[in-house]
Amino acid sequence: MPELPEVHTTARMLNDMIREKIIADVWSDYNSPYYVGKENIKDPKYFKKLKSKILSKKITRVWRRAKNVLIDINSGETLVIHMKMTGHLLCGVFEFDKKKKEWIAKTPGPMQDPFNRFIHFVITFTDGTHLAFSDMRKFATVTLVSSSRELDKKFDTLGPEPLTDNFDWNVFKTRLRKRPNYKIKTALMDQSLVVGIGNIYSDEILWASLIYPERTVLSISDSEYKLLSKNTRNILTKGIDFGGDSMSDYRNPNGIPGEFQLHHNAYRRTNLSCKRRDCEGIIKRKVINGRSAHFCPICQK
Q: Catalytic residues, which ones?
A: 2-3, 67, 291
CA angle centred on 156, ends 221 and 76, rounded to 5°: 140
CA angle 291, 294, 298 (to 5 degrees): 135
AA identity, residue 206: L
User: Residue 144: in which H helix or E strand, if any?
Assistant: strand 141-145
Distance between CA atoms of residues 38 and 92, nearest Å: 30
Cβ-in-10-Å burial (0-12, 13-18, 19+) of 149 comes to exposed
Measured at the CA of 117, the angle between CA 113 and CA 120, to 5 degrees, comes to 150
* Residue 100, amino acid: K
| Pairwise CA distance, residues 42 & 32, whole Å | 5
